[in-house]
Structure 1
Amino acid sequence: MAAPQLDDPLLRNDCHSRLNPTRHARIERPRSPEQVADLLHRAARSGQRVAVAGAQHAMGGQQFAEGGWLLDSCALDGVVEFDRTRGLIRCGAGTRWPALQRFLAARRARSGEGWALRQKQTGADDFSLGGALAANIHGRGLDLRPFVEDIEAFTLVTPDGRIHRVDRAVAPDTFALAVGGYGMFGVVTDVTLRLAPRRVVRRCVSLIRRAELHAAFEQARADGALYGDFQFAIDPDSRDFLDLGVFSVYLPCEGTPDAAHQLSATQWRELLALAHTDKTAAFRRYSEFYLATNGQRYGSDDHQFGVYLDGYHDAIDARLGHRGSELITELYVPRASIAPFLAVLAEDCRRHGTDIIYGTVRQIRAEHETRLRWARQDWACVVLNVHVRHDADGGRRVRADMQRFIDRALELGGSFYLTYHGHARPDQLRAAYPDIDEVLATKRARDPQEVLASDWYCALRDALRGAAA
């Protein structure tokens, strides 16, 4: 894993794992659907393939095309239309969550009431709305389906350069393919989101063990909690590893949001360093902070935003003496299987020396709208940040780690998320996504020239083509 040439304007990499340095032949930043259509026409005539990038947080190569053209959606931004009556907002696909949040906050009543986003990814904020649609993301809602539920409509430029307005009624097949389709079926240029009334919620925090977790989530839902998660201990030398965790839920309440008690950037840097060098101390500090916020009130939108430190790993690399980063994996199991699954993961990590830097458990409701569907049933979702050394051995180790984790989830009737890496074997892909061969066949039928062909798509196509179903 050679260090990327950061001064190369045609080189892009993902923001978090930094494991996808990719040099493109050209990078274009269209400002309208018509300019996107023109770009796709030119690419088709030139025999070039195109990938579409938003904020570049995916880690499986979905937004890059080695030697191809990169369509950077950053100029497709801003609010196009806001329907205050129905709670619908149309934004450019390159719009980031903080910009949307600022727009909505400026239009709240003095009481704080107004429209708010329903869910977004947590852990970072600078994601694009188009990327959220392409990956069919989710947040930490306790009773929410993936992002598809929040989408009213979108504008899509298909590989043949045609511009379509897509919703469930007008083009249901295209809607189902494009949402969660990672850019295979067209370039999304704007998205109309369904907003929710902004509410005040109270954070309730406790320390519990994995054996209590399923019942705790069920009780939180019964109590009316809207959001929640479980952030677990990460020290494999401790009996608490993937067992003891901070359980936080957010219940609707009266009143106004409190002045937020937050960790500073410096405190976050210290915590991230400790997560690599003294994991027990890291969890102790983190849990102490969270317990101190018990009872704090937040806006239902505000608590979904946080701090992400770009380039945080540079200082950690200097301390560790090697280049590295974290690769994320997201695994799903039936909700009642969460305790045995965490126990199996803990045993697996200890046996193989897998270095967990952070982990959390969330909940997700099933959806039945998209074709490349990951939320096939109600899941418990385990997110793991795994430390990776940027050398050949590190690459081999993390590939083996990712495949073992997927096997453990599949053994319990579970699944995994495609966004974070491309290490899954063909048999794992087909087990978790039974329709994946049919979806790729539809892709080839709709885009026979494979104009929209990211590195992720090409690797997926070749892997499945080379392995009999």
Structure 2
Amino acid sequence: MKKMVIVLLSLCVYASLLLFSVHKPSSGVSEEYMTDVGKLMPVKVKKVVKGTALSSIQEVIEEAAKKDLKISIAGKRHSMGGHTYYHDSVVLDMTGYNKILDFDKEQKTITVQSGATWDDIQQYINKHGLAIKVMQSQNIFTVGGSISVNAHGRDIREGSLISTVNSFRLLNADGDIINVSREKNKELFYLALGGYGLFGVILDVELQLTDDELYEMNTETLDYKEYNDYFKENVIHDPNVKMHLARISTAPDSFLTEMYVTNYERASGVASLQEYNELKDERLTAVSKFALGMARDFDWAKNTFWKLQKNYFLQTDGELISRNNVMRSESKFLEYEDENDNDVLQEYFVPVDAFADYIDDLRSVLSEEELNLLNITIRYVNHDEGPVLSYSDEEMFALVLLINQGLSKEDQMKTEAIVQKMIDVTLGHEGSYYLPYMPYPTKAQMLRAYPRTEEFFEKKKQYDPDERFTNFFYEEYEQ
């Protein structure tokens, strides 16, 4: 019975694996208004058009040009800073544009329309023994949305998502369809990927796949000061470790000191992938919602939950799981309908060698602030080719923070002030932060974290002089 309780409560841990938090839009927002899952920035839009065919998408572009309307591009709307809409804009909803167009098992490639989700791809390729190379820890997001933010995942042998994109087609503000790759229209490749929908509509994408594999989960605990050396000695230089994640405690009794790490190592022995490759579904949602709700409201619940989830993962030591299933995590249990608060995300990148000192400085800041911090997951971001708005030009640890905050303007201002302090700490350690969240960082912080910011916005105006494609992120940070 005790183990069952641990299993049920531990499902909440997947909250920290989201790159974008999951909530139902507030029932207080009328149909003429639009918001994202963060619920913090509802605005009136001109209309929402669901793109289901190329012709319908082209009609939106043509109408906007004739009537001088702004266009915003939306998928699942999990970016939280107004990246997917704009006041009085035409919002192009791409979720219905989701067909799988081509698949080459031998070359390990798949071409999908940009509204397809990662789950759509997994369902299609799993039976062929193939898997996705890079994606978030949830498979509910659209491909177009994910590459527009250049997402990253758990695979420490791959870089960010851009490294797996072979090519894509882009519908620009003039209504022209452009083939984009590292060889054709190369400049646009590094602008539109990680470009937050500002350079046009990504229509379809060819992705490079990899083999599905069977992994053994191995978990151990350690002190945060040991993590840097542990990672170098036991993870990054061991070719059998293919995926890795760590969590550091946000519980009051062990705040930012205790950690546990889980390595996904290539399985050895007689077990076959076929025994473990059936795609898992979500379950036990109600219990998980309840447990996370308790942790939102009570310090004792945070302490208890940290111990339970740590013990649970230690008990799973040695269990086997397929690569595709590692990339499928609980998400529905994070949906809740509280009218007064919600969960938001921040993500900070810090050089590997700076980790312990960074945690010390972060703890010093947060010990003086009132921030309802629920979870921190740590991943490794391998250096690879990056877009113009690249969040990392060296090997980094990425810390994903799940924060509960109120919806009022006062609560937002409090969170904004704390976020700016945390970003200052991150920048002080030569780190960076991720852009798909609330526009809490200052313009000066963005310029420091993203030194090619001005170049990005200049290229935006060059490729889209009428600024047809826009969103609140652009309005906030365009210089």
Aligned twin of 1:442: 459
TM-score, length of structure 1 as denominator length = 0.91
The runs of 5 or more residues in structure 1 that have no matched partner are 109-113, 465-469
Residue number among 271, 277, 298 corresponding to 2:321 in the alignment: 298
Q: More displaced, 261-270 or 209-218?
A: 261-270
The CA deviation at 1:220 is: 1.2
Q: Deviations over 1:237-267 (max 9, x none)?
A: 31x2112122101001132356679973234
Residue number among 20, 31, 37 corresponding to 2:58 in the alignment: 37
1:119 aligns to 2:134 (yes or no): yes
Written as runs of structure 1 = structure 2, the 5 A alignment for 1:5-20 is 5-6=27-28, 8-15=30-37, 17-20=38-41
Q: Deviations over 1:49-93 (max 9, x none)?
A: 110001111111111112211000012102100011100100010
1:399 aligns to 2:416 (yes or no): yes
Tell me if structure 2 keeps the 8 A contact 1:32–1:76: yes
CA–CA separation in structure 2 for the residues paired with 1:262 and 1:185: 36
Aligned twin of 1:340: 357
Written as runs of structure 1 = structure 2, the 5 A alignment for 1:158-307 is 158-218=172-232, 219-224=234-239, 225-235=241-251, 237-238=252-253, 240-254=254-268, 255-256=271-272, 264-276=284-296, 277=298, 278-307=301-330
Give the secondary structure class of the aligned counterpart of 2:332.
coil
The CA deviation at 1:6 is: 4.9
Percentage of pairs with the same residue: 21
Q: Deviations over 1:378-406 (max 9, x none)?
A: 11111111111111221111111111111
Residue number among 77, 84, 93 corresponding to 1:72 in the alignment: 93
CA–CA separation in structure 2 for the residues paired with 1:66 and 1:360: 34
CA–CA separation in structure 1 for the residues paired with 2:474 and 2:350: 26
- The letter of the residue matching 1:157 is L
Q: Deviations over 1:124-162 (max 9, x none)?
A: 331000001100000112232100001011111011111
Aligned twin of 2:426: 409
Tell me if structure 2 keeps the 8 A contact 1:372–1:433: yes
Query: Number of residue pairs matched?
Result: 444
Tell me if structure 1 keeps the 8 A contact 2:163–2:385: no
Q: More displaced, 403-412 or 6-15?
A: 6-15
1:62 aligns to 2:83 (yes or no): yes
CA–CA separation in structure 2 for the residues paired with 1:336 and 1:294: 28
CA–CA separation in structure 2 for the residues paired with 1:61 and 1:366: 28
CA–CA separation in structure 2 for the residues paired with 1:329 and 1:216: 25
The CA deviation at 1:11 is: 3.0
CA–CA separation in structure 1 for the residues paired with 2:130 and 2:416: 42
CA–CA separation in structure 1 for the residues paired with 2:404 and 2:336: 10
- The structure-2 alpha-carbon separation of the partners of 1:60 and 1:412, relative to structure 1 and needing over 3 Å to count, comes to same
TM-score, length of structure 2 as denominator length = 0.89
- The structure-2 alpha-carbon separation of the partners of 1:232 and 1:313, relative to structure 1 and needing over 3 Å to count, comes to farther
Give the secondary structure class of the aligned counterpart of 1:301.
helix
The CA deviation at 1:273 is: 1.8
CA–CA separation in structure 1 for the residues paired with 2:463 and 2:57: 17
Give the secondary structure class of the aligned counterpart of 1:348.
helix
- The letter of the residue matching 2:236 is R
Tell me if structure 2 keeps the 8 A contact 1:141–1:227: yes
Tell me if structure 2 keeps the 8 A contact 1:51–1:63: yes
Aligned twin of 1:49: 70
- The letter of the residue matching 1:275 is A
- The structure-2 alpha-carbon separation of the partners of 1:35 and 1:312, relative to structure 1 and needing over 3 Å to count, comes to closer
Aligned twin of 1:111: none
Give the secondary structure class of the aligned counterpart of 2:95.
helix
Tell me if structure 2 keeps the 8 A contact 1:38–1:161: no
CA–CA separation in structure 1 for the residues paired with 2:430 and 2:334: 37
RMSD: 1.9
Tell me if structure 2 keeps the 8 A contact 1:156–1:164: yes
CA–CA separation in structure 2 for the residues paired with 1:133 and 1:385: 22
Tell me if structure 2 keeps the 8 A contact 1:49–1:69: yes
CA–CA separation in structure 2 for the residues paired with 1:133 and 1:262: 25
Tell me if structure 2 keeps the 8 A contact 1:37–1:163: no
CA–CA separation in structure 1 for the residues paired with 2:426 and 2:29: 41
CA–CA separation in structure 2 for the residues paired with 1:262 and 1:65: 33
Q: Deviations over 1:299-319 (max 9, x none)?
A: 1121111111266333xx4xx
CA–CA separation in structure 2 for the residues paired with 1:33 and 1:130: 15
Aligned twin of 1:467: none
Q: More displaced, 154-163 or 213-222?
A: 213-222
Residue number among 87, 91, 99 corresponding to 2:112 in the alignment: 91
CA–CA separation in structure 1 for the residues paired with 2:286 and 2:51: 37
The CA deviation at 1:12 is: 2.8
CA–CA separation in structure 2 for the residues paired with 1:210 and 1:94: 40
Give the secondary structure class of the aligned counterpart of 1:438.
helix
- The structure-2 alpha-carbon separation of the partners of 1:152 and 1:299, relative to structure 1 and needing over 3 Å to count, comes to same
